[in-house]
Amino acid sequence: MKYTLSEQKKIIKIEFTVPYDEFSVYLGKALESLCKQKNEESLSMNDFIVKYGKDELNYAALNIAMGEGYRQAVEENKLVVISQPRVNLVNLDVMADTIFTIELDKTPEFELGKYKGLEIKLSSKTPSVTVDEIEHKKAEIANQMSTLVSVEGSLQNGQTSVIDFVGSVDGVEFEGGKAENYELIIGSGMFIPGFEEQMVGMEKGEVRIIKVKFPDEYTPELAGKDADFKVTLHDIKERKQPEINDELATKYAESKKLTGINTIEDLNKVLREEIYRAKERAVFEEISQKIEDALCENNKIDIPDAIVEDEVKYQLEAYENQAKQFGMELEMMVSMMGAGSVEGLKAQIREMAKKQLSMQLILDKIIKTENITTSDEEMEAYYNNVAISRGISVDEAKKQMPKFHLEGHIISSKAMQLIKDSASIIYA
């Protein structure tokens, strides 16, 4: 595969040419992949085309060629990619050269600001573990190992309700406003303000109309509107917790596949270590977060709106797919997440995307300024560690994280470590 790279005012354009005889190699790779997907015993190319058609095979081969060509061009030219690539198919013909182009937005120009000797003030002190924290952790474990059991009486705060509900505005049901056998913890604040409060006191089998008003920042179709929810209560459940004793300790150890825990005292020691490590990670994360904040403050970068909105669209699609997996509308999932509305979620993604893209550009410039590199030995050691920690082969680890991605990860980590090592850390 050959390619030519040209830079225009705001974009980088890469044109790829795959000679027709080379395209057959990608057809072979596509055939193997598609046969696995369809659970077919190795079909010949002709048999596959007869059964499934040639278009599916051709476009699968094209996708493989595009992916390999794109990675090659990015790696060889050390391109900093901050936007989704835009692909255009010029020609797809197995009897002639296949031609396609990929366009990338050029990275904004900026002068590298201060990144060494940053003063980082931490809100937390040097990690320590208290008895109360260990007791709280054991209570959490007991709650995790508890079971939901049906109880009699009327519904109260803290109990789990099993309900059907149907929402309507002005007598008309709205999309995403109904569910069956939904488990809702009363007092959790997972639903619209006022919803759970009005359910308190319901009896099993009772049907009640819950009247609420959607928040002004909710999805535009429902924002600020009054709504009625017809709620049917099927069951009331409470959590039954086990006693905190040696038996709990051993059951917890079995569930986590831990050894050496036979008594509650053994569990105390393990929990103390877990809490301490968690606090260490929290300090590490706080340092990283404040370093990122300082770097972004010292390096003002004008990220083009189009690039940011591409990232918003990409991440929003991921949330939509997640909502579908849970069988609910995006608006309802966003409300349950506490983001307020889809527009509120977009705003959060937008700010996060600006910071992530800025950090990517800043680190890239620091890497070039400091001439930070990695070696084959470092990458091989990383692959070995991944293989051991995940219980897989080194070859499988390399498939999960291609060399190009690993190299970028290691170099970026080195750049962040350089910044941390030179920073002045001040504890509260």
Residue 304: predicted pLDDT: 83
The answer to whether residue 234 sits within a structural domain is yes
Residue 253: predicted pLDDT: 92
Is the torsion defined by CA of 260, 262, 266, 267 positive or negative? positive
Using 50, 70 and 90 to split pLDDT, how confident is the model at 418?
Answer: very high
- Torsion (CA) 36, 41, 44, 47 in degrees, nearest 10: -100
Residue 80: predicted pLDDT: 81
Q: Count up the domains in the chain and report the number.
A: 3
* pTM for this prediction: 0.62
Using 50, 70 and 90 to split pLDDT, how confident is the model at 294?
Answer: very high
The answer to whether residue 29 sits within a structural domain is yes
**Greatest extent of the chain over all pairs of C-alpha atoms, in Å:** 77
Q: What average pLDDT does the segment 388-396 reach?
A: 89
Look up the domain containing 209 and give its range. 147-240
CA distance 151 to 145: 18
Tell me the per-residue pLDDT of 231-282, one tens digit each, with 9 for 90 and over.
999 999 999 989 999 999 999 999 888 888 999 999 999 999 999 999 989 8
Together in a domain, 309 and 420: yes
Together in a domain, 193 and 291: no
CA distance 178 to 85: 39
Q: What average pLDDT does the segment 33-55 reach?
A: 87
Residue 426 has pLDDT above 70, yes or no: yes
Mean pLDDT estimate for the chain: 90
Higher pLDDT, 175 or 132: 132
Using 50, 70 and 90 to split pLDDT, how confident is the model at 334?
Answer: confident
Q: Which of 208, 206, 213, 199 is nearest to 169 (CA)?
A: 213
Coil/strand/helix, residue 328: coil
Together in a domain, 284 and 419: yes
Neighbouring CB atoms inside 10 A of 54's CB total 14
Residue 200 has pLDDT above 90, yes or no: yes
Return the exposure string of 259-273: e unless at least 16 CB atoms fall within 10 Å of the residue's CB, then b: eebeeeebbbebbbe
Together in a domain, 369 and 291: yes
CA distance 99 to 65: 10
Of 210, 240, 270, the domain-final residue: 240
Q: What average pLDDT does the segment 391-420 reach?
A: 90
CA distance 234 to 165: 11
Domain with 230 in it: what CATH number? 3.10.50.40
Tell me the per-residue pLDDT of 350-360, one tens digit each, with 9 for 90 and over.
999 899 989 99
The answer to whether 122 and 426 have CB atoms below 8 angstroms apart is yes
The answer to whether residue 247 sits within a structural domain is no
The answer to whether residue 25 sits within a structural domain is yes
User: What's the distance, Cα to Cα, between the start and end of the chain in Å?
Assistant: 58
The answer to whether residue 251 sits within a structural domain is no
Residue 94 has pLDDT above 70, yes or no: no
Together in a domain, 291 and 417: yes
CA distance 25 to 15: 20
Q: H helices within 231-375, ranges in order?
A: 246-256, 264-298, 305-325, 330-337, 342-370
Residue 197 has pLDDT above 90, yes or no: yes
Domain with 34 in it: what CATH number? 3.30.70.1050
Using 50, 70 and 90 to split pLDDT, how confident is the model at 428?
Answer: low
Together in a domain, 300 and 407: yes
Together in a domain, 317 and 413: yes
Residue 329: predicted pLDDT: 80
The answer to whether residue 265 sits within a structural domain is no
The answer to whether residue 26 sits within a structural domain is yes
Residue 417: predicted pLDDT: 94
Coil/strand/helix, residue 169: strand
Using 50, 70 and 90 to split pLDDT, how confident is the model at 307?
Answer: confident
The answer to whether residue 263 sits within a structural domain is no
Of 191, 218, 240, the domain-final residue: 240
Residue 116 has pLDDT above 80, yes or no: yes
Residue 359: predicted pLDDT: 93
Residue 211: predicted pLDDT: 96
* Interaxial angle between packed helices 403-422 and 342-370, expressed in degrees from 0 to 180 and rounded to the nearest 10: 80
Give the list of residues 6+ apart from residue 136 with CB closer than 8 angstroms, or none.
none
Q: How many CA atoms lie within 13 A of 106 on its CB side?
A: 12
Of 50, 80, 105, the domain-final residue: 105
Neighbouring CB atoms inside 10 A of 96's CB total 11
Give the list of residues 6+ apart from residue 100 with CB closer than 8 angstroms, or none.
15, 16, 62, 65, 66, 87, 88, 89, 90, 91, 92
Domain with 393 in it: what CATH number? 1.10.3120.10
Together in a domain, 283 and 342: yes
Together in a domain, 161 and 283: no
Report the phi/psi class of residue 181: left, alpha or beta, with left for phi > 0 and alpha for psi in -120 to 50.
left
Q: Which of 308, 137, 149, 302 is nearest to 236 (CA)?
A: 149
Using 50, 70 and 90 to split pLDDT, how confident is the model at 405?
Answer: confident
Coil/strand/helix, residue 287: helix
Q: What average pLDDT does the segment 397-420 reach?
A: 90
CA distance 38 to 26: 18
Together in a domain, 321 and 235: no
Together in a domain, 95 and 185: no
Q: What percent of the chain has pLDDT over 70?
A: 99
Together in a domain, 165 and 71: no
Q: What percent of the chain has pLDDT over 90?
A: 54
Residue 183: predicted pLDDT: 95
